[in-house]
Structure 1
Amino acid sequence: MIYFIYSSYTLKKDVERSILATDKIKVCGKYLGIKTSPGATRAGPKDYITFQNDDGSISQFHSIPRYQNELFDLKQIYADDRICYYYSLKYTVNGNDYFISRIDILRNR
């Protein structure tokens, strides 16, 4: 129980730092959707917001709906939509995952 409370508090602080960061990177590309990857046995599978960047590389960010739903609505973004997303290289959540703090949809289809 104590671990759960501590980890929730830490996650909230990590998310806040990521949102307020002034060093955000902007990357543009194509939204590929939510992909599920098997997680550790105890934790179960993890959902990742997945993009194909303009340079052809694939980026995945851990989906944390309880925070991201307040920042943007993934239900308004469709597979293959052109987007730009923002995240900080300085701050991570859960120790090693970057957090998307903003998504701009580019409606040039």
Structure 2
Amino acid sequence: MSDDNKKNLDKGKINIELDEAVAEGTYSNLAIINHSVSEFVVDFVNIMPGRPKSKVKSRIILTPQHAKRLLKALGDNIQRFEKAHGEIKDYDKAPVPLNFGPTGQA
């Protein structure tokens, strides 16, 4: 296959690399979202019971256009998930307080 044909086949494709550390992911049970005129900032936090303080584990900064695309993509994926696995239950309040009880000891 000629180089020109290969280039035409690759048009419209994005080459994305995922290194091992990022592939492991980071657990988050809280997202804090703020915005300005030019950007949306999403801070992902992991709050654990009995811990008085938590740290932001990851921060994603998006343009308003990308934030809107993310909202649509999440909505589409949630619809597909619920079609396959049933409705995701939503709580008005968290069923258990996030900072309940004393810190555990071993």
Normalised by the length of structure 1, the TM-score is 0.33
**Structure with more contact order per residue of length (Cα contacts < 8 Å, sep ≥ 6):** 1
Query: Which protein is richer in helix relative to its size?
Result: 2
Normalised by the length of structure 2, the TM-score is 0.34
